[in-house]
Amino acid sequence: MHLLHDPNAPAAEAIDFDAFLKVDIRLGTIIAADPFPEARKPAYKLKIDFGPGIGVRQSSAQITTHYQPAALVGRQVAAVVNFPPRQIGKFMSEVLTLGFPDAAGEVVLFSPDQALPNGARLF
């Protein structure tokens, strides 16, 4: 099992609060989810609305085990919005959608338990 997926792994190396603040994690609503058959690992192409400050960004997400595209539309998710874009095949992934691994290492999305404004920042 990869260290990032191991729930029994020790905590990562300590960082200071300023380092944490550099990671911009925002809440957005998925407005489109489409299959991504060109990806090496099964994935979806997501369009996520982060509100007027950030706008709509796209993400490639390996979440095909637990989610169907139609059920993702309207769901709020957290994503890192200030990583550099990453080219995945012919698709440019602009944000990193966040989740946790289940017991088999498959992604379960990280979402709030109530509706919040798009663009809200994690603190």
Asked if pLDDT for residue 4 goes beyond 80, the answer is no
Kindly report, residue by residue over 67-95, the tens digit of the pLDDT. Answer: 999 999 999 999 999 999 999 989 999 99
Q: Answer yes or no: CATH 3.40.50.150 is held by domain 22-102.
A: no
Beta bridge partners of 100: 108
Cα–Cα nearest to 123, from 24, 19, 8: 24
Residue 119: which residues within 8 A CB-CB, separation 6 or more? 26, 27, 28, 50, 51, 52, 53, 54
Do 83 and 111 form a contact (C-beta atoms < 8 A)? no
5 Cα distance to chain centroid: 15
Q: How confident is the model at residue 1 (pLDDT cuts 50, 70, 90)?
A: very low
Residue-wise pLDDT tens digits, 19-65: 999 999 999 999 999 999 998 999 999 999 999 999 999 999 999 99
Per-residue pLDDT, averaged over 112-120, amounts to: 97
Amino acid at 108: V
For the chain, the domains span 22-102
Beta strands in the chain (DSSP E): 25-35, 44-49, 56-61, 76-80, 86-88, 91-93, 96-97, 99-101, 107-109
Q: Which residue has the higher pLDDT, 117 or 1?
A: 117
Is residue 11 pLDDT above 60, yes or no? yes
